[in-house]
Amino acid sequence: MPSRSLHIGSLAFDVPAIQGALSGFSDLPMRRVARAFGCVYAMNEVVLDELVVLPGKLQQEILHVKDDDHPVAGQLLGSTPETFAAAAALLVGAGYDVVDVNMGCPVKKVLGRSRGGFLLSEPSTALEIVARVRDAVRAEVPVTVKMRRGVDDGPLAEEMFWEILEGVFARGVAAVCVHGRTVAQRYIGPSKRSFLTEVKKRFPERVILGSGDLFVAADVKALLHETGVDGAWIARGAIGAPWIFSEVRHLLETGSLPPPPSFDEQRRAVWLHYRECTALYGRELGSRLFRKVAIKYAEAHPAADDVLHACYEARLPRDVDVVLSRFYDESFAEEHFGPVVRKIGPGNLVAAGACASG
| CA atoms of 63 and 253, how far apart (whole Å) | 36
In a domain, 186, yes or no: yes
Distant-in-sequence, close-in-space partners of 55: CB < 8 Å, separation ≥ 6 = none
Percentage of residues in the chain with pLDDT exceeding 90? 84
Same domain, 114 and 230: yes
Asked if 183 contacts 148 with a C-beta cutoff of 8 angstroms, the reply is yes
Mean pLDDT of 53-58: 96
Same domain, 308 and 214: no
pLDDT range class, residue 41, cuts 50, 70, 90? very high
pLDDT tens-digit map of 287-342? 999 999 999 999 999 889 999 999 999 989 999 999 998 998 866 666 665 554 44
Please name which of 14, 260, 211 lies closest in space to residue 104, comparing C-alpha atoms.
211
pLDDT tens-digit map of 77-113? 999 999 999 999 999 999 999 999 999 999 999 998 9
- Which residue, 220, 254, 288, sits at the end of a domain? 254
Asked if 248 contacts 33 with a C-beta cutoff of 8 angstroms, the reply is no
pLDDT at site 269 = 95
| CA atoms of 216 and 251, how far apart (whole Å) | 11
Mean pLDDT of 15-35: 96
Same domain, 13 and 93: yes
Same domain, 135 and 271: no
On the question of pLDDT at 51 being above 50, the answer is: yes
Same domain, 152 and 296: no
Q: What total number of domains does the chain contain?
A: 2
pLDDT at site 349 = 32
Three-class DSSP category at 149: coil
Same domain, 307 and 192: no
DSSP state of 143: E
List the CATH number of the domain containing 113: 3.20.20.70
| CA atoms of 343 and 327, how far apart (whole Å) | 16
pLDDT tens-digit map of 250-263? 999 999 998 899 88
Active-site option among 105, 177, 311, 355? 105
The domain containing residue 284 runs over which residues? Answer: 263-336
In a domain, 348, yes or no: no
| pTM of this prediction exceeds 0.85 | yes
pLDDT at site 342 = 43
pLDDT range class, residue 191, cuts 50, 70, 90? very high
Three-class DSSP category at 137: coil
Same domain, 20 and 143: yes
Judge whether 277 counts as a catalytic residue: no
In a domain, 344, yes or no: no
| CA atoms of 259 and 247, how far apart (whole Å) | 8
Preceding amide of 242 cis, omega within 30: no
Residues in the chain: 358
On the question of pLDDT at 1 being above 70, the answer is: no
Say which residue, 124 or 352, is predicted with more confidence.
Answer: 124
Q: What angle do CA 170, 175, 179 make, to 5 degrees?
A: 110
In a domain, 85, yes or no: yes
Same domain, 92 and 235: yes
